[in-house]
Amino acid sequence: MTACNDESHIARIRDASRRLVRELGFLRPTLAATDLPPSAVHALVEIGARGSMTASDLSAVLILEKSTVSRMVRKLVKAGELAEEISDDDARVKPLSLTPQGVSTLQRVDAFARHQVMEALTRMGVEAGRNLPESLDSYACALQASRTENKTGDKEYGVG
């Protein structure tokens, strides 16, 4: 076995991944000092980053079942966070966008997340945090490639 495939190396990465999930708050019923569940916060972040997107696109990005995203979107529209419009080109296509309330919520989420990351980076020190963005991105991309190449479904995903 190479160092990257050593069982203790893998165990340490799995342990760190589980701790990250817990420390970032993903096991709590709400996230980022909002009253929203983690999946809804992620939906606002992704829609905010793109300006608008369909529920189908959101389902693919969040790696969630379309029915789950549909229920979440209905709740976010009802709560005043999202607006659902009808496409001029195809009435079946309903682009989602943030309402002014959704923009405000996203700004609070972003401020919370920036503070959380800045606090952690300060505690890590400059040297330890220097390559962290590239390392995390590389790890996330490798996980994504593994999932898509192996056609791993929701039921098998994310055991850390």
Q: Output the tens digit of pLDDT for each of the chain's 160 residues.
A: 456 778 899 999 999 999 999 999 999 999 999 999 999 999 999 999 999 999 999 999 999 999 999 999 999 999 999 999 887 787 778 999 999 999 999 999 999 999 999 999 999 988 989 999 999 999 999 999 999 888 655 445 555 5
Q: Where in the sequence is the domain holding 112, given as residue range(s)?
A: 31-149
User: Residue 23 burial by CB count (10 A; 0-12/13-18/19+): exposed, middle or buried?
Assistant: exposed
Is 158 domain-assigned? no
Is 160 domain-assigned? no
Look up residue 60 and give its two tokens: 């693919």
Domain count along the chain? 2
Tell me the one-letter amino acid at 47.
I
Tell me the one-letter amino acid at 76.
L
DSSP 154: G
CA distance 24 to 100: 26
Q: Are 10 and 75 members of one domain?
A: no
Q: Are 54 and 7 members of one domain?
A: no
Q: Are 43 and 1 members of one domain?
A: no
CA distance 48 to 110: 11
CA distance 128 to 108: 28
Is 159 domain-assigned? no
Q: Are 129 and 55 members of one domain?
A: yes
